Amino acid sequence: MITLGICNAETASACCFKDGELIAAASEERFSRVKMDESFPIRSIEYVLGEAGVNLTDIDQVAYAWGEGFQEKLLPTYVARAVELAEEDKAALDIFSERIRIETERDEVNKNEFKGWFDEHFPAPGQPPLITCFHHEAHAYSACLLSPYQRALVLTADARGDYESLTCWLYDTASEPVIRKIYSSTSSDSLGFFYGRITGLLGFKPCRHEGKITGLAAHGDPKNAIGLMQGMIDFEDGELKAKLGDLYRPFYTNYSDALEKEISRYSREDIAAAAQQHLEDLLCKIVVHVCEKYELKDIPLVCAGGVFGNVKANQSLKELPHIKKMFIQPQMGDGGLCLGAAAYAQHSAGLKISPMTHVYLGPSIDVDEINKRPKDILQKVTVKQPENTVDELVEDLSSGKVIGLVRGRMEFGPRALCNRSILYKTSDRSYNEWLNERLHRTEFMPFAPVITTELAEKAFIGFQESDVTFNFMTSTVNCTDEFSGKCPAVTHIDGTARPHVISKDADPFMWAVISQWHEKTGEYALINTSFNTHEEPIISNVDDALESLLNGTIDVLYVESQRISLR
């Protein structure tokens, strides 16, 4: 059975499942070169179908996320919240109503766009079947069905989707249905909007640069502005509730004069630190509350939704005593909704969904394409096949070269996991400043390490090879003093790192590179950062990679086993 999954909002994407296996997935941004492209994912659909070796006429199911709208089960929650606000403050009720109105209008546009595409390509009624999901339901299915667990607590959180912003579910493969919702907060009571508004107030782009706030937070003191954060949104009597008014509105913009005045009283570092601390506190309070209410102990936690791009918050959740293990669906944002909808569709058809063990689901780069580039390009570069690519790459790193690495299929999701990566040494913290400058990135953003499982045991406190968050670079971890001393460029100011940990079986090439690098230099890891400059998507094709070499973003380019350098 072949299922095509589609999502067409923020980071529009498509995926294809075949008999329970996720065989291809890509986001439209990688083809259009428009960061977080929201346009309908035509090229992504073409790619995943091509990878599956099928046409639209061969599809057994189409699965669409974010297609249901307001669910009847939410009515009591919304009525109770509206009554509460009406008794407290009519202005707050007006904000609540505005959120509902704007959400309805915006979602209708996306649903109509999808309907137009579907009706054009599938004019026969009911052929193929269309399976739809509520927004957070799709997030939940992407987290639990693609996880390695049979039973888990599911947590989803983002700005909003189908009138919810955070949900909790119980997942058990022995039950039917396999997930049961046990908590929901309205799209007005939103941690995603809370953190996004702080992002905007500090001069960055909401729904895009939240990672900058996480990086900046380590430079501040959360105690100074924590009261301000608590005055925006808090967890009270088992409910996540925002204080709708001057200090908080469930939108990324529309900042009141009073809010901007309050924000200006503190340094941006302290604001970031307080927002980060408050986000972590609220997520942990919600999980602890649910675990205690439902008597959950030593249970895996699986998560999806844009909030879980926050690697520091993920670490805090993972360290809760109630939580045994953790899985963050690697394309945690709305680009991953297609995964949840398609996995749900296949599961509903009686198929067992295979756990997600990697994200190498996008297009490959054909090495032969390099020699087909225009003559004026080829005259500027030297293409070489090293006798031993590992030796040559390590030698380039030793010479202080910034390496662009392109191998195999492109990653799906925001993390580059050594198939579309930039590599560099980790031994000097000054690298952060000049390498970020070269990549046109913010100077305080930390780089992440790639490291082998053997070395990770010495590098990270309490490291466990079974922790799958490290396979996908979705959580931070506390570093040992030895690692911090040898690899300061990938140790953040708070003593944590966001590692990609690889085993010899999973990636023998990178395992050999890092092992030889460690032997040669004593460094435990290499910098692994995504192969793109600021505000651009991760590279997709040969031209993107060569352009990075020609414009000086990287010093040497490796495509599969070939080394390409400027003449």
3-class secondary-structure state, position 11: coil
Q: Are 440 and 533 in contact (CB under 8 A)?
A: yes
**CATH class of the structural domain 362-566:** alpha beta
Confidence at residue 155, expressed as pLDDT on a 0 to 100 scale: 98
State the Cα–Cα distance between residues 301 and 47, nearest whole angstrom: 32
State the Cα–Cα distance between residues 530 and 434, nearest whole angstrom: 16
- The dihedral built from the CA positions of residue 322, 473, 505 and 369, taken in this order, carries a sign that is positive
State the Cα–Cα distance between residues 100 and 103, nearest whole angstrom: 5
State the Cα–Cα distance between residues 111 and 567, nearest whole angstrom: 51
| pLDDT tens sequence for the chain (567 residues) | 999 999 998 999 999 999 999 999 999 999 999 999 999 999 999 999 999 999 999 999 999 987 788 889 999 999 999 999 999 899 999 999 999 999 999 999 999 999 999 999 999 888 899 999 999 999 999 999 999 999 999 999 999 999 999 999 999 999 999 999 999 999 999 999 999 999 999 999 999 999 999 999 999 999 999 999 999 999 999 999 999 999 999 999 999 999 999 999 999 999 999 999 999 999 999 999 999 999 999 999 999 999 999 999 999 999 999 999 999 999 999 999 999 999 999 999 999 999 999 999 999 988 888 888 888 888 999 999 999 999 999 999 999 999 999 999 999 999 999 999 999 999 988 888 888 888 888 767 779 999 999 999 999 999 999 999 999 999 999 999 999 999 999 999 999 999 999 999 999 999 999 999 999 999 999 999 999 988 899 998 888 999 999 999 999 999 999 999 999
State the Cα–Cα distance between residues 514 and 452, nearest whole angstrom: 7
Of 90, 27, 558, nearest to 330 by C-alpha is 27
Confidence at residue 98, expressed as pLDDT on a 0 to 100 scale: 97
Q: Are 355 and 363 in contact (CB under 8 A)?
A: no
- Domains 2-73+101-140+338-356 and 149-325 in one fold: yes
Q: Domain spans of the chain? A: 2-73+101-140+338-356, 149-325, 362-566
DSSP class of residue 538 equals P
DSSP class of residue 333 equals S
One-letter amino acid at 467 equals D
CA 324 to chain CA centroid, Å, is 22
Q: Which segments within 433-555 are labelled E, that is strand? A: 449-452, 477-478, 496-497, 500-502, 526-530
> Which CATH code for domain 149-325?
3.30.420.40
Of 526, 560, 366, nearest to 451 by C-alpha is 526
3-state helix, strand, coil in the chain (%, to 5): 40, 20, 35
User: pLDDT tens digits for 531-557?
Assistant: 998 889 999 888 899 999 999 999 999
Helix (H) or strand (E) holding 383: strand 381-384
Q: How many CB atoms lie within 10 A of CB 398?
A: 12
Q: Are 226 and 274 in contact (CB under 8 A)?
A: yes
Q: Are 264 and 222 in contact (CB under 8 A)?
A: no
State the Cα–Cα distance between residues 139 and 145, nearest whole angstrom: 10
Q: Are 84 and 27 in contact (CB under 8 A)?
A: no
User: pLDDT tens digits for 322-375?
Assistant: 999 999 999 999 999 999 999 999 999 999 999 999 999 999 988 888 888 888
DSSP string, 54-95: --GGG-SEEEEES-S-S-GGGHHHHHHHHHHHHHH-HHHHHH
Confidence at residue 1, expressed as pLDDT on a 0 to 100 scale: 96
- φ/ψ bin of 403: left (φ > 0), alpha (ψ from -120 to 50), beta (otherwise): beta
DSSP string, 254-292: ---HHHHHHHHTS-HHHHHHHHHHHHHHHHHHHHHHHHH
In degrees rounded to 5, what are phi and psi of residue 451?
-150, 155
CA 113 to chain CA centroid, Å, is 25
Q: Residues 6 or more apart from 484 whose CB is under 8 A from it?
A: 491, 495
Both tokens of 502, joined, read 């690889």
**CATH class of the structural domain 2-73+101-140+338-356:** alpha beta
State the Cα–Cα distance between residues 221 and 223, nearest whole angstrom: 6
Residue with tokens 């939704």: 305
Rounded to 10 deg, the angle between the 268-293 and 191-201 helix axes is: 170
Q: Are 361 and 5 in contact (CB under 8 A)?
A: no
State the Cα–Cα distance between residues 17 and 25, nearest whole angstrom: 9
| Cis peptide upstream of residue 177 (ω within 30 degrees of 0) | yes
